[in-house]
């Protein structure tokens, strides 16, 4: 690290957060959009991010209004439908929440727009992550959908997304966006250019939509989206997109103030030519670690993947200095490795636990055919280059709640509002919304129960926690659910006040707190 400081001594991000379904890997019965908070890619079919192969290399123009440019590409119809009008009005009741979601998406919106425009898609597609994930790259649903575009593991793998201990491509901004657009392109072609049907199929799977069309044809009914009998969630999904599009089209009508956004992407992809510690990369780019991580949310660990992708999204204004400093960085300081000598009584699993890694990583790194090790043997172990607190800070503002906090169930009374409830418990409206998976425009009703996490002791573990509302299915058990979400049975019982010896019932609702970086190992 001293060498790195010497390299940087003479040198000096600005950054402000429905599952896609294939018929072979269909989504669960509740949309992540309803839970307030998707991502696929086929790397072999990527459309290049720009003519130079990098997002963010275009010329920035302060004279162009991003939102007006976005509106010019709107071409979906149906804003007059009752479901759309109702949803838009609900968004209008909570304009500050709408603004917060768009502020979260600010680092990603210009890039998504560029890619949508290249394909000549309706630019309302840029707003689809508003519905899917609220522009939260760490969004995670009970159906195990992840990222801005909310894709489940199986679908992600089908589209070439790597998911392992080091990296989850479903959360990679560039990879997930390219893949989601690939999938949407396939769907709109399948449905003869009918974008409302394509968007509905993105939510429920093309099979559901095709079968609904066949039923209507057989009955002599119209086959447009508005006349199809689709799952309830899908019937609400398309109106949500059209509603938020109308909010963007006429923000003053809904009392929404859309903050100015630079029309040029905020980041540039830089080839790192190998594994690189994220904290070291932040020093090289002269930005803070957390900001850099939010541009590269696909990485589960303190470092980029040893086997690639060997690229990082760097703030465009810092890309030149990053490349210059990276070129001057000695190879042996790109990531830190410890040489561990095996002592008597040690096991590979014990060593992995000691260094906060996994047996699989140690076996791969040291080319071990099994987990058997011998006394005196040396193992090469990847570790973080800086103090753990540097990496823990990455996710501090992303955590919805701590399991160690004091959980309170608040019953909504007549006259209550999210603002009033938040003030009562000394929390924010955003936190209440996130903990209870409410839409930005959701209404609360007397008798409704809300979960509140009062301030308590916090952990510095650096976990990226997300609350998951899970509905018990036939055949489920605590063991099966715990294994599925990589949590303990003890925690499941504690979070849900489940007595020992009592069996789960289909339809029962459970609340889980999962670390999204631990779900693709």
d(CA 188, CA 199): 8
d(CA 257, CA 240): 19
Q: Which of these is catalytic: 132, 233, 283, 290?
A: 132
Question: Using omega within 30 degrees of 0 as the cis cutoff, is the peptide bond preceding 321 cis?
Answer: no
Contact 70, 110 (CB under 8 A): no
CA 68 to chain centre: 27
Reference 293, options 464, 55, 100, 38; nearest CA is 464
Burial class (CB in 10 A: 0-12, 13-18, 19+), 142: buried
User: In sequence order, what are the residues at sequence separation of 6 or more whose Cβ sits closer than 8 angstroms to the Cβ of residue 327?
Assistant: none
Burial class (CB in 10 A: 0-12, 13-18, 19+), 79: middle
Alpha helical stretches, state H, 250-379: 278-285, 289-295, 319-328, 348-354, 359-365
Element (H, E) at 191: none
Contact 133, 512 (CB under 8 A): no
User: What phi and psi, each to the nearest 5 degrees, are found at residue 206?
Assistant: -65, -25
Burial class (CB in 10 A: 0-12, 13-18, 19+), 56: buried
User: What phi and psi, each to the nearest 5 degrees, are found at residue 509?
Assistant: -100, 130
d(CA 62, CA 305): 36
Annotated catalytic residue 62: no
**232-249 and 82-93 helices, crossing angle to 10°:** 60
DSSP single-letter state for residue 439:
-
DSSP single-letter state for residue 457:
-
**95-118 and 82-93 helices, crossing angle to 10°:** 120
Give the other-Cβ count within 10 Å of 36's Cβ.
Answer: 24
Residue 268, strand partner residues: 314
| Active centre residues (catalytic) | 132
């Amino acid at each position: 690290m001293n060498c790195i400081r010497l390299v940087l001594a003479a040198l000096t991000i600005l950054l402000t957060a429905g599952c896609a379904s294939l018929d072979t890997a269909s989504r669960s019965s509740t949309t992540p959009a309803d839970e307030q908070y998707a991502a696929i890619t086929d790397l072999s079919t990527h459309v290049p991010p720009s003519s130079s192969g990098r997002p963010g290399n275009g010329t920035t123009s302060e004279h162009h209004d991003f939102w007006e440019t976005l509106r010019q590409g709107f071409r979906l119809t149906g804003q007059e439908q009752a479901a759309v009008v109702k949803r838009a009005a609900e968004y209008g009741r909570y304009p500050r929440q709408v603004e917060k979601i768009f502020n979260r998406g600010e680092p990603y919106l210009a890039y998504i727009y560029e890619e949508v425009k290249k394909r000549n898609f309706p630019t309302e597609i840029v707003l689809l992550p508003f519905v899917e994930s609220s522009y939260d790259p760490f969004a995670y649903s009970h159906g195990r959908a992840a990222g801005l575009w909310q894709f489940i593991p199986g679908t992600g793998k089908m589209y070439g997304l790597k998911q392992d201990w080091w990296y989850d491509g479903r959360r990679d901004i560039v990879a997930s966006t390219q893949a989601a657009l690939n999938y949407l392109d396939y769907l709109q072609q399948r449905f003869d250019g009918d974008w409302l049907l394509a968007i509905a199929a993105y939510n429920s799977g093309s099979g559901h939509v095709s079968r609904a069309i066949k039923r209507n044809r057989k009955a002599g009914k119209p086959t447009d989206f508005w006349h199809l009998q689709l799952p309830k969630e899908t019937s609400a999904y398309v109106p949500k997109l059209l509603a938020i599009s109308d909010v963007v089209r006429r923000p003053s009508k809904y009392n929404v103030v859309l903050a100015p956004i630079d029309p040029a992407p905020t980041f540039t992809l830089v080839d790192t030519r190998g594994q690189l510690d994220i904290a070291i990369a932040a020093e090289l780019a002269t930005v803070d670690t957390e900001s850099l991580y939010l541009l590269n949310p696909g990485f589960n660990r303190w470092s980029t993947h040893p086997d690639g992708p060997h690229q990082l999204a760097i703030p465009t204004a810092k890309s030149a200095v990053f490349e210059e400093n990276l070129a001057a960085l000695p190879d042996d300081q790109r990531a830190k490795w410890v040489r561990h000598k095996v002592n008597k009584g040690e096991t590979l699993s014990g060593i992995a636990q000691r260094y906060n890694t996994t047996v699989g990583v140690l076996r791969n790194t040291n080319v071990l055919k099994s987990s058997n090790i011998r006394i005196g043997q040396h193992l090469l172990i990847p570790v973080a280059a800086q103090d753990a607190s540097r990496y823990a800070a990455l996710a501090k503002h992303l955590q919805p709640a701590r399991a160690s906090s004091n959980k309170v169930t608040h019953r909504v009374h007549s006259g209550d509002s999210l603002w009033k409830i938040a003030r009562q418990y000394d929390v924010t409206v955003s936190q209440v919304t996130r903990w209870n998976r409410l839409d930005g425009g959701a209404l609360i009703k007397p008798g409704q129960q809300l979960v509140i996490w009062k301030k308590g002791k916090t952990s510095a573990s650096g976990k990226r926690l997300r609350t998951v509302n899970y509905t018990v299915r036939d055949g489920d058990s605590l063991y099966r659910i715990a294994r599925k979400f990589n949590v303990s049975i003890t925690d499941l019982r504690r979070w849900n006040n489940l007595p020992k010896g009592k069996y789960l019932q289909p339809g029962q609702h459970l609340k889980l707190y999962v670390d999204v970086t631990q779900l693709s190992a």
